[in-house]
Structure 1
Amino acid sequence: MDTITAYLVFLNLAGFLIMGDDKRRARMHRWRISERMLFLVSILGGSIGTWAGMYVFHHKTRHWYFVIGMPLILALQIVAAILLYRQGLYHL
């Protein structure tokens, strides 16, 4: 597995687990993970895991900025990956 793939797998797993952990903390009325951190993990490359975690754990699905923001971040990342691939800067 190349470095970029390992990085993306790690961030997506982290995004998924962070969503689950934040949901657990919310149910227990404990200290929460900030929404800024959830978006940061997504922006840094964990958008698939974060988005999946939203729906698996039913967390943040009533907040429009998550419902629209997470797929928008993913779409922008896909466009960026396609552009990098076409320029020869990224290889599958």
Structure 2
Amino acid sequence: MFESIDAFVTGASVVMLVILVIALVGAAVRMIVGPGYADRFVALDMLTGIAVAACALTAAVTLRREFLDVGLGVALIAFLATVALASFLEKKERKS
């Protein structure tokens, strides 16, 4: 079916890139239109997840491990931001 593994990897990468772009557009729309702060932050969290997936895809295509380190760093920062926002929203809710 495929003449070489490179053709398969290229084809699969293009398909995954299209899926990531569709998810990126959906998350960006939700971030702009979202009715509340929580919706916008979930969209931002999704955007960081898409960035991590893009880093992993780039690492797989280029065979460079540095992109995995970047993706891991982005994922850790996104996790800490999610925890910080959850703490902030909980404190805000207690005051109300």
Q: TM-score, normalised by structure 1?
A: 0.41
Higher relative contact order (CA 8 A, sep 6+): 1
Structure 1 or 2, whichever has the larger Rg, is: 2
